[in-house]
Every structure is written in structure tokens, then in C-alpha cells.
Copies of this chain bind each other. A is one copy, B any other.
């Protein structure tokens, strides 16, 4: 006695998703099985459309429906500055802050030798190409403050500086609304290192 094949197959496929174990997968599958008839149909169609209707901008490698993407083709953006992020989701986080008006470059990951991901697996070559025509004056490195993100930032800084382009790194410190007492040591250390005169 086991699950009917169609259910077992769905559970098996769902366990491939990150953070979904066998029990979670079974719970999701039962939820879908018991839920309204339209939901699995819609979900199946969204999955089929996903790769077909989503592509990467050939300039900045962000996710887009049209190429070049809406940011790269926006004449009001500052073409002298490129902000380098790991993922398109990071780009969206920066856009939501309304604090940046330049262009972007999405690396599609960070350097991580343990995962077999070196600069050649990322969009590093394409970034350097964009800097060669001389129009870009500053590159803002906005990779995450993780080991991989820092390594990637250091690597890129070394690569870009010789091209005569200013390289900066986003600030790390106590989050707005956070407090010193509950911040980890590394964050507090960064906040003190990065102090600014008032």
C-alpha cells in the first residue's frame, strides 16, 4: 500500500525544491489534491510559461520580458554608474529603496569555489565589456555581505580598478530600526569601521 502513482510522482518532484523535505512535499501535494480544481491547472500553466516568457537582458542580465530591459532602455537613468548585484532579486530590493538611479549588472551568482562557481560561471566578462567604452565612471559593488559576496567584491575591485573606473562598496552596519545589543559582532565591527563624521 502506498500513495497512488500520480500523487507519489508529484511528491517526488516537489522534494527536489529547496527546503522541501518528504513530509512538506506530501503536505503540499495533499493540499493541492484537496483544494479547488482550478489551482493545479493554473500552477501547471504558470510553470510551463515561466522559462518561455522570462529571459535575461542581454546588457545587464536581469530578468525581463523585453530585451533590453526597462532599466537599460530608460533614458533617464544615469549611464555613468553601474551597480553590480548577485541576483535580479537584489536589484529589485535596491529599486524598492528608490535610492539609486544608475544602471545595474546582475552577476547571476557569487564566486563560490566550494560550489564550483568561479568568475567564468558568472557574468563577469560581460561586465568588463560594458566598462571598456569609457562611459562608466563608477561601479558600485552591491554583492551580499557573505563570504562569497565579499570574495566576489574583492575580486571585481581588483579587476576593475586598473581600467580607471572608480569602485565603491555598499555600506554595512546596523540596520535601520535594529539595535546594537542584538546585532552580531561582525555587523557592529563593520558599523564602527564605516563610521562617518556628523
Contacts and interface: CB of A to CB of B under 8 A. Distances in A.
A71 to B, nearest CB: 6
A182 interface: no
A42 B70 contact: no
Number of copies: 2
B89 A26 contact: yes
A73 to B, nearest CB: 12
Nearest to A11: B46
Interface of A: 1-7, 9-10, 13-14, 16-20, 24, 26-33, 37, 39-54, 63-65, 70-71, 87-89, 91-92, 95
Nearest to A29: B50
A157 to B, nearest CB: 26
A167 B105 CA distance: 68
A10 B51 CA distance: 11
Given A39-B13, A87-B30, A50 B19 contact: no
Given A18-B27, A19-B27, 16 more contacts: A1-B70, A1-B92, A4-B64, A13-B39, A13-B42, A14-B43, A17-B31, A17-B32, A30-B87, A30-B89, A32-B47, A33-B50, A33-B63, A40-B47, A44-B44, A44-B47
Nearest to A27: B18
Given A33-B51, A50-B29, A16 B44 contact: no
A45 B46 contact: no
Contact of A50 (B1, B40, B47, B52): B40
Given A26-B89, A28-B17, A53 B4 contact: yes
Nearest to A42: B13
Contacts of A91: 1
Contacts of A4: 53-54, 63-65
A28 B17 CA distance: 7
A28 B18 contact: yes
**Most interface-central of A18, A47, A71, A92 (chain B CB within 10 A):** A47
